[in-house]
Amino acid sequence: MEIRKWEDLPEDCLANVFRRVGMESLLLDVPFVCKSWYRATLNPFCWERLDFYNIMFAPKDYLFYVIFDDDGVRMVHRLMVEYRIKEFSVDSMIKFLANRSSGNCIVLDLPANGCREEVFRFVIDKCPALRCLSFSCNLFKTDHLSIIQELIEKCKHLEFLNILDFTVSNLKEIVAKIGRNCQHIRGLGAPFAYIGEEEAAAIVTNLPNINYLVLTHSRIDRKYLVEILQGCKRLFHLDVSNCSGCKIDDKLLELASHIHTFKYEV
């Protein structure tokens, strides 16, 4: 029986394997094995998932990096050594990989402490097929609401949107926009949000079939949590950990009994 070598596999087969190994291996391991593997890593389908969450901007000049955990430290150090980079630019890295994906990126995690508005607009234009997006508005200079609305209009295939460090006061407008433009939406993350009467009504009215809702560290009164529990019958995962304004009791737990994962702090 003939045994085929990995390097002799067709490029599309290699790309189908390599797209599962993660961004770090695609940049720092796979390309250096052999020429055929290097060529395979240039296939846009290898870059469906881009994760910059742990590589964070330094707000003063954007040329140096601040690292969120040890994985980020290792990856950036290896990049600088392997590619002989003297000054690491998160801006350039994000743009480079967004371009390499050629519109095939479906999962994008931007730096946890934010990215520049210009970079954000760039990747949204380059990645129209996004299904899952996580980002922070922390470094945006323009009105946050207008930028998010622009994103929602362009990325109509979104299934999960996570807005880190939620500082936008117009949640009801954002939810309404999502409901009108993103027919495939299944999850919303809005930590640190304020959930009042209008916000709760907007969630129930515009996202009644939502499966995942993350409202950690938010302000939400009991009656509005009840409204969401009663109005969103298809919730599979609800996270209200570290929220203020509402104490979880037996009655609320009974209302939430249909939810597979209900995270809270008593």
Q: Where are the domains of the chain?
A: 1-47, 142-266
Q: Give the pLDDT of residue 3.
A: 64
**Cβ 232 vs Cβ 203: under 8 Å:** yes
Q: Above 80 in pLDDT, residue 79?
A: yes
Q: If you average pLDDT over each of 55-59, 63-67, 140-144, 207-211, which comes out highest?
A: 207-211
Q: Give the pLDDT of residue 218.
A: 94
Q: 262 has which bridge partners? A: 238
- Condensed to tens digits (0 to 9), the pLDDT of residues 142-166 reads 777 888 888 999 999 999 999 987 6
State CA 155 to chain mean position distance.
Answer: 13
Can you tell me the distance from the alpha carbon of 238 to that of 253, in angstroms, rounded to the nearest whole number? Answer: 12
* Mean pLDDT (the chain, rounded): 88
DSSP state, 2? P
CATH architecture of 1-47: Up-down Bundle (1.20)
| pTM of the predicted structure, to 2 decimals | 0.86
Average pLDDT value for residue range 111-135: 92
CATH topology of domain 142-266: 3.80.10
Q: Above 60 in pLDDT, residue 26?
A: yes
The H or E element containing residue 212 is strand 212-214
Top-confidence residue, 206 or 60: 206
Residue 122: strand, helix, or coil: helix
CB atoms within 10 A of CB 159: 17
Q: Above 70 in pLDDT, residue 198?
A: yes
The H or E element containing residue 252 is helix 250-255
